[in-house]
Structures are given as structure tokens and as C-alpha cells.
Structure 1
Amino acid sequence: MRVAGAVVVIAVLDGGSGADLARRFAAAGASGLLIADLRPGVAEDLATELDRPGCPVVGVCGDVHRPSDIAALVDTATGHLGPVDLFAVAGPHGERIVQLAELPHHLDPLAELLAEVGEAIGEVVPTQRQPSDSPSAARTAAR
């Protein structure tokens, strides 16, 4: 994966941290970072810490579980930093990086990105437990 010169969006899921990932991208020569965190102020503080000439960093509050927020993140990154090259998702159990250059060019890039981010979220968040067949679960489901 080529990081040097890349514009990177880092989406932090609930319980995750994008700080180490952002530091690694900055050290590897990223040309710009947009960090989005669910918690207000967290991404903005990290952006202030990491922002430097040659690698501007923008921090915003956002939720990648909402397609409208993903679209806003991509628009914000593009407007401030240029076209997005990598989209990373950092969760409580790991991280996943999507290389946008690998997306099929005949598909709508944002729609494809939404599918890739959904897959990335699924990889870093543990599978939800299925409801049991207990009578209380059946009553809850019937409500």
C-alpha cells in the first residue's frame, strides 16, 4: 500500500482509537489526513496535535454508520486536502484500510466506498450475538 503522498480518511468507531493509526500515516509520509471520531472534540484535538506543513490534518465529528456522514467526510477531505486515496476504519478490535485506487472505475466511487466501508466496519467490530430461542427473547420479538 502506498502511503507516501496519499490523502487518508480515518474513521474511528465507538471504542476505537485513531491516534496510533494517524501517527503511523503521518510518519509514513501521508500528504493529508482527515480524522473522524464519534466523540466531539477528540478528532479535532488530535488534528491540532498532528497538523504540520506537508501533512495538514483535519478533525471532525462523524459517524461512518451513516452514509450521509461518509459522504460528508469524503467531501470535506476532498475540499481541504484533495482526492482521497485511502479510507481507514479503526475500531475497538482492529483496523481496516480501503485503497480507493482498487475500486472498479465503472462503478460510482461513493457507492462502492460505502460498500467497502460497511465491509471494513464488519471486520473491526465483533459479530453481534444472535437472539436466543428463550421464551423471553420470543416475547421481546413479538412486541
Structure 2
Amino acid sequence: MRVAGAVVVIAVLNGGDGDGPARRFAAAGAAGLLIADPRVGVAEDLATALDRIGCPVIGVSSDIHQPSDIAALVDTAEKHLGPIDLFCVAGPDGEKIVALAELPGQLDRLAELLDPLGEAIGAALGEAVPPQRRAAVGGPAQLA
């Protein structure tokens, strides 16, 4: 999975931690990060600490259990950073990462990634991610 030059969204679940993945993505040459954490101020503080020329970092308080929050994350990331390349969910049991360019047409792999959150989130992502990002470019995404 290529990180250098990638725009990455990191969605933190309750009990998860975005600090580790955010620092790893930034160190690996990500072109931009959007960190979403349900705890008020946590993502914003991390973004302030990591933001730099060449890798702008945006932090928002957001709960990806809410389909409207997912749509807002996609919108915010694309408006300020460009098309999303990688989507990472950081939960209490670790991280799952998917490359959006490798997803099949209906974002099935991203829906699988978010399966514990329910089908509504996968459907919301299918509606929120622009059609050009939905096209399959290769085989199935590799989850880390």
C-alpha cells in the first residue's frame, strides 16, 4: 500500500487512538491527513502538532457511527486536501486500512471495513465518495 503522496482519512472509534497511525502516515510521506475523533479537541490537537508544509493535517470532532459525519469527512478531506486515497479506521482492537482506488464499484471492501458499525455507514460511504473514486483499479484492497 503506497502512502507517499496519499491523502489519508483516519477515523478513530471510541477506545481507539489516531496518534500512532497519524504519525506513521505523516512520516511515510502522506500528502495530507484528516483525523476524525469522537472526543472533542483530540483530533484538533493532534492536527496542530503534526501539521506541516507538504503534509497539511486537519482535525475534526466526528463520530463515524453517523452516516452524515462520514459524508462530511469525505467532503472536508476532498475540499481541503484532494481526493482521498486511504481510509483508516483506528479502533480499540487496532487499525484497518483500505486503499480507495482498489475498491470495487460499490465500495464493498470499505463497507466490510466498517461492518461493525452497521450497513448504513457503508451505504453512506457509497453515496458520499465521488463516482471517479469508486471505480476498481486493481484487485481487492489490502487491509492492514
Which TM-score bucket, shorter chain as reference?
Answer: 0.7 to 0.9
Compared CA separation, residues 120 and 55, structure 1 to 2 (3 A): farther
Counterparts of residues 7-26 of structure 1 (less than 5 Å): 7-26=7-26
User: Contact 1:70/1:114 (CA < 8 Å) preserved in 2?
Assistant: no
User: Contact 1:85/1:100 (CA < 8 Å) preserved in 2?
Assistant: yes
Compared CA separation, residues 120 and 18, structure 1 to 2 (3 A): farther
Question: 1:21-72 CA deviation, whole Å, 9 max, x = no partner?
Answer: 0000000000000000000100000000000000000000111111111111
> What is the percent sequence identity of the aligned residues?
73
Correspondence for 1:31? 31
Correspondence for 1:68? 68
User: Contact 1:18/1:90 (CA < 8 Å) preserved in 2?
Assistant: yes
SS of equivalent to 1:23: helix
Question: Whole-Å Cα distance in 2 between the matches of residues 39 and 9 of structure 1?
Answer: 16
Runs ≥4 in structure 1, deviation > 6 angstroms? none
Compared CA separation, residues 116 and 76, structure 1 to 2 (3 A): farther
User: Contact 2:103/2:110 (CA < 8 Å) preserved in 1?
Assistant: no
User: Contact 2:17/2:92 (CA < 8 Å) preserved in 1?
Assistant: yes
Compared CA separation, residues 119 and 61, structure 1 to 2 (3 A): same
Q: CA RMSD in A?
A: 1.8
Are positions 1:77 and 2:77 aligned together? Answer: yes
Compared CA separation, residues 44 and 63, structure 1 to 2 (3 A): same
* Residue identity matched to 1:11: A
Question: Whole-Å Cα distance in 2 between the matches of residues 83 and 96 of structure 1?
Answer: 19
Question: Whole-Å Cα distance in 1 between the matches of residues 26 and 117 of structure 2?
Answer: 23
Counterparts of residues 35-54 of structure 1 (less than 5 Å): 35-54=35-54
Compared CA separation, residues 101 and 114, structure 1 to 2 (3 A): closer
TM-score with structure 2 length normalisation? 0.76
Correspondence for 1:115? 111
Unaligned runs of 5+ in 1: 123-143
* Residue identity matched to 1:64: I
1:104 Cα deviation from its structure 2 partner: 2.0
- Residues paired across the two proteins, number: 118
